[in-house]
A = this chain, B = another copy of it.
Amino acid sequence: MKITAVIMAGGRGERFWPKSRNTCPKQFLSLTKDGLTMIQKTVKRLEPLVSAEDVYIVTNAAYTDLVAEQLPDVPQENILAEPCARNTAPCIAFAAAVISRKYDDAIMLVLPSDHLIGYEDIYVNTLKKAIAVAKEDKNLVTIGITPTYPETGYGYINFGEENGSAYAVERFVEKPDRATAKQYLKSGKYLWNSGMFVWKISSIMSNLRKFMPSVYEGALRIGEAFGTDNYTYTLVNEFEAFPSESIDFGIMEKAEDIFTIPGSFGWDDVGSWLAVERINETDDDKNYIEGDVISVGTERSTIVGGKRLVAAIGIEDLIIVDTDDVLLVCSKNNTQDVKQVIAQLKEQGRNELV
């Protein structure tokens, strides 16, 4: 059965401001020293499983040029432009409907565009196992990440009985508090919900028909219009009418036959500037330093220089990001407050900086 990959690349990535902007969110940035952008790395690590012509990118209409530029091997018609943001369920339905025009049935990997994977061989092997499970019956498979610490920023997957190389999913749970997260780890029965899914087109379509019939039907109409003069009109009309709903809430929490494959492949969701020191090598003082920087007595800091010299003296636990028009100096404890700055800029109508 044909293996296709749907990469979700519509996110705004405010948490990497000021490097990420509305005009160039995180998935289109390089945050590693190899110079490849997040989405380029996402496609590259799939090479052993999926060739570029079977990769589909669902993104915001504003980013289709960026996608085409960064992924020249992905066919232009595989770049699916959402006219507006409607969360992951409509995004996945749209892609499934388009792909189902091409094949009777196919495997569909659904992957975020802005995560990093440390151990790519293990990752590919995990996906292979997931594909094998997804081929059977109507199974929906989600990749669970074996937790390494009690993270409170992720959702968790509670799994039950083993079933071949997969585990039956008992339930999905929202972001826990610290005490609950610790219990989850202790129980040995919870995985992080990574947002990576594997299923047959036919499986997800039948679940959409059952649990989200309006999305299912709208997606079918978009699929029918694909390649015709009516396409843009149909797409905009149908998409705007879709509810904004995650695939987790819309399908996964309701469907039966949900399985999870535990993965341990150095997954990192690169959720904030704090991730940069995790995913790159640091110096003896635990700094990650990039660009033209002179540092004296500086520890545990991330410094991403721009076009100018950055002199960092006696600082600790800071994130410094220098761009042409914005400089960020942020305590590591306050990375979430970047959103407050962006909100202020929007209020001030300074959208060119957002």
In the complex, A308 has a CB within 8 A of chain B? yes
Verify A313–B296 contact, CB threshold 8 A.
Answer: no
Residues of B close to A345: CB separation below 8 A: 294, 309
Taken together as a complex, chains A and B put the C-alpha atoms of A314 and B331 apart, in Å, by 5
Interfacial residues of chain A within 19-73, with CB under 8 A of chain B in the complex: none
Interfacial residues of chain A within 289-331, with CB under 8 A of chain B in the complex: 294, 296-297, 308-316, 318, 320, 322-331
Verify A296–B341 contact, CB threshold 8 A.
Answer: yes
Residues of B close to A294: CB separation below 8 A: 341, 344-345
Taken together as a complex, chains A and B put the C-alpha atoms of A297 and B341 apart, in Å, by 11
Given A294-B344, A309-B353, residue A315 in contact with residue B331 (CB < 8 A): yes
Verify B308–A330 contact, CB threshold 8 A.
Answer: no
In the complex, A340 has a CB within 8 A of chain B? yes
Residues of B close to A329: CB separation below 8 A: 310-313, 315, 318, 320, 329
In the complex, A228 has a CB within 8 A of chain B? no
Verify B327–A322 contact, CB threshold 8 A.
Answer: yes
Verify B326–A311 contact, CB threshold 8 A.
Answer: yes
Partner pick for A326 among B308, B324, B325, B335, CB 8 A cutoff: B308
* Chain B residue nearest in CB terms to A334: B314
Residue of A297, A314, A344, A350 most packed against chain B (CB within 10 A): A314
17 extra interface residue pairs, beta carbon distance < 8 Å, beyond A308-B327, A313-B340: A18-B311, A294-B344, A296-B341, A297-B331, A308-B325, A309-B326, A309-B353, A311-B328, A311-B329, A311-B341, A312-B329, A313-B329, A313-B330, A314-B330, A314-B334, A315-B318, A318-B329
Min C-beta distance of A286 to chain B, whole Å = 16
Residues of B close to A331: CB separation below 8 A: 297, 313-316
Residue of A18, A313, A337, A340 most packed against chain B (CB within 10 A): A313
**Can you spell out 14 A-B residue pairs with CB atoms less than 8 angstroms apart?**
A294-B344, A308-B325, A309-B326, A309-B327, A311-B338, A312-B329, A313-B330, A313-B335, A314-B330, A314-B333, A314-B337, A315-B318, A316-B331, A329-B329
Partner pick for A334 among B308, B313, B320, B327, CB 8 A cutoff: B313
- Copy number in the complex reads 2
Taken together as a complex, chains A and B put the C-alpha atoms of A218 and B338 apart, in Å, by 63
Residues of B close to A326: CB separation below 8 A: 308-311
Taken together as a complex, chains A and B put the C-alpha atoms of A308 and B296 apart, in Å, by 24
Interfacial residues of chain A within 336-354, with CB under 8 A of chain B in the complex: 337-338, 340-341, 344-345, 350, 353
* Chain B residue nearest in CB terms to A344: B294
Taken together as a complex, chains A and B put the C-alpha atoms of A323 and B314 apart, in Å, by 19
Residues of B close to A337: CB separation below 8 A: 296-297, 313-314
Residues of B close to A322: CB separation below 8 A: 327
Residue of A308, A316, A335 most packed against chain B (CB within 10 A): A308
Min C-beta distance of A225 to chain B, whole Å = 44
Verify B310–A327 contact, CB threshold 8 A.
Answer: yes
Residue of A308, A318, A326, A329 most packed against chain B (CB within 10 A): A329
Taken together as a complex, chains A and B put the C-alpha atoms of A310 and B310 apart, in Å, by 14
Residues of B close to A324: CB separation below 8 A: 308
Residues of B close to A327: CB separation below 8 A: 308-311, 320, 322, 327
* Chain B residue nearest in CB terms to A307: B325
* Chain B residue nearest in CB terms to A342: B311
